[in-house]
Amino acid sequence: MSQAHLIYPPEVDKLMTQSRRIEASGDLDRLNAMKARLWLDGPLAPEGRVAGPARDLLLDMNGIALRSAPFGSDIDIQPFFHRLSDVAVPTLVIWGDLDFPYVQERCRHVAATVPDAEGREMPGVAHLPSLERPEEITALIAEFANRCMGSAE
């Protein structure tokens, strides 16, 4: 399902409309700021919720991506959700409770459908928990990997 077919809560829909207008204007600085607003702060959280080095890093990295020449084609690929039960490795799915509602739903679905998957919702973070709380994410991944390696022996 492409994002164009999603139904957002009114406050998110307003931001998505703003984002599309900014993108159409070609103002890459404003678009970059809006992407930080949506993906780093979270669409339902206050703008500027995440500041400092994490925001600077996102703006720098995303600014490079926005100004780079396009590559490949931007087409929908065949959805893979019907094949999640085929995943044959332990899987850790982490999402933030401030992320887009549809992203949270998809993460819950993946965690519930992939065999041996674990789902972790992180309170107070949006789409980029590893950027907001790198130490916590590293600890979660290390603990998960250690458990998986221990059960493989």
The pLDDT value recorded for residue 84 is: 93
Q: Which amino acid appears at position 58 of this protein?
A: L
The pLDDT value recorded for residue 2 is: 45
The pLDDT value recorded for residue 5 is: 59
Name which of 139, 79, 90, 148 is nearest 119 in CA terms: 90
The pLDDT value recorded for residue 7 is: 82
Token couple for 75: 């087409």
Is the CB of residue 116 less than 8 Å from the CB of residue 28? no
Q: Who contacts 62 (Cβ-Cβ below 8 Å, separation ≥6)? A: 32, 35, 36
For the chain, the domains span: 8-67, 81-152
Helix/strand/coil percent split, the chain, to 5: 60, 10, 35
DSSP string, 98-131: TS-HHHHHHHHHHHHHSTTEEEEEETT--S-HHH
The pLDDT value recorded for residue 75 is: 61
Q: Which amino acid appears at position 133 of this protein?
A: R
What is this structure's pTM? 0.80
User: What are the mean pLDDT values of the chain's consecutive 10-residue runs (153 residues total)?
Assistant: 67 94 96 96 94 96 92 67 92 97 94 96 96 96 94 63
The 3-class secondary structure across 34-103, one letter per residue, is HHHHHHHHCCCCCCCCCCCHHHHHHHHHHHHHHHCCCCCCCCCCCCCHHHHHHCCCCEEEEEECCCCHHH
- Return phi, psi of residue 95, to 5°: -145, 160
